[in-house]
Amino acid sequence: MNTGIRMEPIGSIDHTQKGTVIRLNKTLAPGLTGIGGFSHLIVLWHFDKAPWDGTTLTYRSPYVSFTGDLGIFATRGPFRPNGIAMDICRVLGLDEKAGEVTVDWIDAEQASPVLDIKPFHPSSDVVTAPQVPAWCAHWPKTRETSGEFDWGSEFAFG
């Protein structure tokens, strides 16, 4: 068993008035070479502001359409053993030299650490007929239509 896993952030999230920018550590900026032709990126980041308590594996569902408990691996909630998050982001701008990628949206908070960036490839990242539980089957089928969906009516809190 590998118990020596160690990761260092490659950058951080910066929500500015002009948009959301992924700012890479300057030494890693050359790693963006060639990414300019991709419209979307997979961004892995850390839920650093939502630490896991080390014991909670289930909690009351936050969804209106599902009552009962859900395991942490059945949700995309922030309280998880490793706090790894993933978003698919549309690229709005790229400055390879500065190590900056402007994206349309990401679920991360200001200064959240970015762990990795990968190009989105339809050949391996799109599933045309995924199966989901009945309680979320009415959710949007694509990222493009997700922004128009009334997500506020889906959650049982605030």
Residue 158 has pLDDT above 80, yes or no: no
Residue 1, pLDDT score? 65
Whichever domain contains 67, its CATH number is 2.40.30.70
- Residues sharing a CB contact under 8 Å with residue 65, sequence separation 6 or more, in sequence order: 135, 136, 138, 154
Backbone angles phi, psi at 52, to 5 degrees: -75, 145
Percent over 90 (pLDDT), the chain: 87
In a domain, residue 30? The reply is yes
CA 63 to centroid of chain Cα atoms: 19
Average pLDDT of the chain is 94
In a domain, residue 80? The reply is yes
Express the helix, strand and coil content of the chain in percent, nearest 5 each.
15, 30, 50
Q: Which 8-state DSSP code applies to residue 109?
A: P
In a domain, residue 28? The reply is yes
In a domain, residue 2? The reply is no
Give the chain's domain count: 1
In a domain, residue 140? The reply is yes
pTM of this prediction?
Answer: 0.92
41-85 residue pLDDT tens: 999 999 999 989 999 999 999 899 999 999 999 998 899 999 999
Domain range holding 129? 11-153
